[in-house]
Structure 1
Amino acid sequence: MKDGGRIAAAIEVLGEVESRRRPVQDALKDWGNAHRFAGSGDRTIIGNLVFDALRHKQSLGWQMQDSSARALALATYALNWQQGLARLEEVMADDRHAPEALSEAEKAALTTPRADAAPDAIAADVPEWLWPAFAAALGDNAVAEGQALARRAPIDMRANTLKASRDKVLKRLAHIELKETALSPFGLRVEPKPGAARLPHVQAEEGYRKGWFELQDEASQIAALVAGAKPGEQVLDFCAGGGGKTLALAALMENRGQIYAYDNDRLRLAPIHERLARAGARNVQVRDPRTGTLEDLEGQMDLVFVDAPCTGTGVWRRRPDSKWRLSEKALADRIEEQARVLDAAARFVKPGGRLVYATCSILDAENRGQIEAFLARDARFARRSAASAFAAALPGKPMPAHVSPEGHVLLTPASTDTDGFFLSVVARTV
């Protein structure tokens, strides 16, 4: 395919996402299945166009004075990919599969910056209804954080110290442009590439198949470190999902002690078994919600880790379509669910034990507000400083910029170059 046809395909996919409110990955997969002639390189470029258009949907629509799928795809190629008007016209004239020729209004929008300044929500590419809560959480840095959440995400990996050191993984993947992460002592990163460029398929590497490393954002790695799981402890990963943090905790515990991995959604939990085997994590017991209970664990855990279900506002770099599908009702539903999850998880913490609450959200209502409301409900628990836990787990590393007066920690792409991730620690005192 030529670029003109790729732009047309991106317009088609964006239209499907908008009109049917479909997850972008589903729309891209269906387009690929219906257009078998498109090679893997074509699909990569089309996907990059679509994702970048969604990342900057609001600011591009404002510049173009048109938020249609066509306007977003054209602006992504000409402006965000820095191809320019002349190149865009060239590829559209050179391909019978390209979209219709540009109108004079489109040419003007692609070459003339608007004289008026974009409102903050538009400049930040944050849904306007959500902007007050977003700005309240991030203050003067809100626009910069929104823009950082609209950029492409890196590929982050965690060296699995049950099988390999970070240096060993670096050497084995020397053919890939890897670097050490700034905060996590086990992290490795492939920086995002611009425009049509594709990232390496690291899961095809021998080291991945051998379990030497796992895909895991640096913020998630930091969350496991802050939890402070020690060899020999009894740990419950209460919302284990696919097991990323379970594996990180197992490595920190050196396969000693016991981790119980649980999730009330068995489909989210399904990948964990294969991942545990590949990683060599032997101190994990998976509790299937269909067949197992947790009653025998009540009041027995040194650590309960709660990576609570949330709106995912901190991972917009990876799921840009989700920010435009998020609704006020979805946020309210998540807040209610988080409160139920916290109350349920608290039953398993033993006296003197701790509960770590984390979300991949940047919103106060899901984070600081949620944990403070929990402490008001359950007098058995007292606040501990996640900032102090961060300093102890990552000695010599700079303290994140977003630390609340209570010691809660918020990691963000603009301040820590990670996904958005909230961390709080409480302890059971009686």
Structure 2
Amino acid sequence: MALTKSLFETAVTALTELQEGRGAADARLSAYFRDNRKLGVPDRAFIAESLYTILRRRRFLEYLAPDASPRRLLLACLVRLNGINPRELEPLLRKAEIEWLHELKAKPADDLPLPVQAELPDWLWARLVAQYGDEQALVLARSLQQTAPLDLRVNRLSGQREAVLALFAKEGIVAAPMPYSPDGVRLKDKIALNKHVLFQKGVVEVQDEGSQLLAMLVAPRRGEMVADFCAGAGGKTLALGALMANTGRLYAFDVSERRLANLKPRLGRSGLSNIHPQLIANERDQKLKRLAGKFDRVLVDAPCSGLGTLRRNPDLKWRQTELDIAELAIKQANILAAAARLVKPGGRLVYATCSLLREENEAVVEAFLAQHPEFKAGNAAEILAQQKIPLDTGPTLKMLPHQHGTDGFFAAVMQRGE
């Protein structure tokens, strides 16, 4: 596609708005496209790909071009990352930019500082090094720079994985079974899934393999009382409902009316009738007090930094701060303690995040167990083995993109004494 001056300027405007605005990049970019409906599909693709490349590789681009404007950041991206010759861009350039861009093209990129290679802010790089060491931290960081595949979960109530794979193959869509989740299908390329008959009929849902395995750790049985304490838009809720074969009662709690509203169309497609969405004010809501000690299984997919999802949400590494992590850890501890009150004697509690950081993961669980002797740590690997899932990351589940091809996930299983 030829890059016109108009498209280039539009991309600069979009990048400027993305940098100056607040909130998630995907939501802001969607809003920009809604406000600019005349943009065609190729134009939107160029803008989205350019902006996400800049978000992923911002540290390197700013190392080459310190204090660069959004316009110059985009030029640096096109030349250094997309391999475009500066001469091809000269019709789009101002006079002062021509020499600057040729100099930028010639700048060496040897012996880059490790945080620049990792494409992470210094504070986050330091934390990963403390946990994994320099070499492993860099491998992990580079895997987070890649684009995530499109992962799907087959709804057991309405389809079988083999049949889904056969239909995709017939349509020329390259797909493969996931290595761990028995319900998982991974597509090689992105497709317009919302227009596909399998999606419209609720046979498949978008869900990362790591997220699917969280439901497997809860391992709900037919007829049980189960709670998804921080349900969000309900991806794990739907997976739990299918594992329960549409029996028992599954409560989907969340503090956001908007997120629960997003669950409704997914619930309608799924064919599940055992799910009961419940809006709560906070973790101390009276509704929860009335349900104390009544649940066989409780999943706490706690609000977190989301740093395990950087393949999908690269802006998070620039939006989160050390103070945010400290505040999240306090919130996570409060939510876990509140959710634990719902668990009946002999019941199971699963705490999970999509964070990479010990402060949000092991530290929260260790503090909880120290304060709640009625709960004992379980073994995630044993629970997965019982379901014939060939994955052993130790007593806790730790999924990492460079090792497992998933987003970064952490989960700990705890059992309440009889």
Provide the residue aligned with 1:89 in structure 2. 87
Describe the shift of the 1:277–1:119 C-alpha distance in structure 2 as closer, same or farther (beyond 3 A). same
Contact 1:137–1:362, Cα closer than 8 Å, also in 2: no
Task: Classify 1:89/1:399 alpha carbon distance in 2 versus 1 (closer, same or farther; 3 Å).
Answer: farther
Q: Distance in 2 between matches of 1:391 and 1:161?
A: 20
More off after superposition, 288-297 vs 367-376:
288-297
3-state SS of paired residue (2:101): helix
Asked if residue 399 in structure 1 is aligned to residue 392 in structure 2, the reply is: yes
Specify whether residues 36 and 411 from structure 1 end up closer, same or farther in structure 2 by C-alpha distance, changes over 3 A only: same
Equivalence for 1:177:
174
Matches within 5 A, 1:7-406: 7-65=8-66, 67-81=68-82, 83-85=83-85, 88-90=86-88, 92-93=89-90, 98-100=92-94, 102-115=97-110, 117-139=111-133, 140-174=135-169, 175=171, 176-191=173-188, 199-289=190-280, 293-395=287-389, 397-400=390-393, 403=394
- Kept after mapping to 2: 8 A contact 1:64/1:106: no
For the residues of structure 1 that align with 2:241 and 2:364, how far apart are their CA atoms? Answer: 28
Equivalent residues of 1:21, 1:325 under 8 A apart = no
Deviation at 1:225, TM superposition (A): 1.1
Q: Distance in 2 between matches of 1:212 and 1:292?
A: 36
Equivalent pairs counted in the alignment come to 410
CA separation in 2, counterparts of 1:423 and 1:4? Answer: 48
Change (3 A) 1:163 1:104: same
Q: How many angstroms does 1:33 deviate by?
A: 4.4
SS at match of 1:61: helix
Instruction: Output the CA distance in 2 between the equivalents of 1:411 and 1:137.
Output: 15
CA deviation string 1:280-320 (max 9, x = no partner): 11221222327982334211211100000001101111111
| Cα shift at 1:358 | 0.5
Contact 2:352 2:411 in 1 (8 A): yes
C-alpha separation in 1, matches of 2:76 and 2:252 = 45
Contact 2:118 / 2:125 at 8 angstroms: preserved in 1? no
Question: Which residue does 1:196 correspond to in 2?
Answer: none
Deviations 1:123-152 (A, max 9, x none): 111111222222223334111111111111
Q: Quick one: percent identity of the two aligned structures?
A: 36
- Which AA in structure 2 matches 1:210? K
What is the alpha-carbon distance in structure 2 between the residues aligned to residue 21 and residue 286 of structure 1? Answer: 29
Q: Name the CA shift for 1:230/1:28 in 2 (closer, same or farther; >3 Å).
A: same
Contact 2:381–2:391 (Cα < 8 Å) also in 1: no
Query: Do the aligned partners of residues 312 and 153 (structure 1) sit closer, same or farther apart at CA in structure 2, a change above 3 Å counting?
Result: same
Partners in 2 of 1:383 and 1:231 — Cα distance?
A: 24
Q: What is the root-mean-square deviation in Å for CA atoms of aligned residues?
A: 2.2
Task: Check whether the contact 1:229–1:303 (CA below 8 A) recurs between aligned residues.
Answer: yes
- Structure 1 residue 209 displacement after superposition: 0.8
- Please name the residue that 2:414 is paired with: 426
User: Does the Cα contact within 8 Å between 1:61 and 1:71 map onto a contact in 2?
Assistant: no
C-alpha contact 1:309 1:334 (8 A) present in aligned 2: yes
Q: Which runs of 5+ in 1 are unaligned?
A: 193-198
Give the match's secondary structure for 1:309: coil
Once the 2 structures are TM-superposed, how far is the Cα of residue 389 of structure 1 from its aligned partner? 2.2
* Distance in 2, Cα, partners of 1:425 & 1:394: 18
| Cα 1:359–1:209 shift into 2, 3 Å | same
2:301–2:353 contact (8 Å) kept in structure 1: yes
Q: CA contact under 8 A between 2:76 and 2:101: conserved in structure 1? A: no
User: Is the partner of 1:84 in helix, strand or coil?
Assistant: coil
Partners of 1:141 and 1:158 in 2: how far apart? 30
Q: Distance between the aligned counterparts of 1:33 and 1:247, measured in 2? A: 29
Q: Within the alignment, does 1:408 sit opposite 2:396 as a pair?
A: yes
Equivalent position SS for 2:315: helix
**CA deviation profile, 1:237-259 (whole Å, cap 9, x unmatched):** 11111111011011111112221
Paired AA for residue 231 in structure 1: R
- Asked whether the 8 Å contact 1:356–1:425 carries over to 2, the reply is yes
Specify the SS of the correspondent of 1:132.
helix
Asked if the contact 2:54–2:74 (Cα under 8 Å) also holds between the matched residues in 1, the reply is yes
1:221–1:248 contact (8 Å) kept in structure 2: yes
**1:16 Cα shift?**
2.2
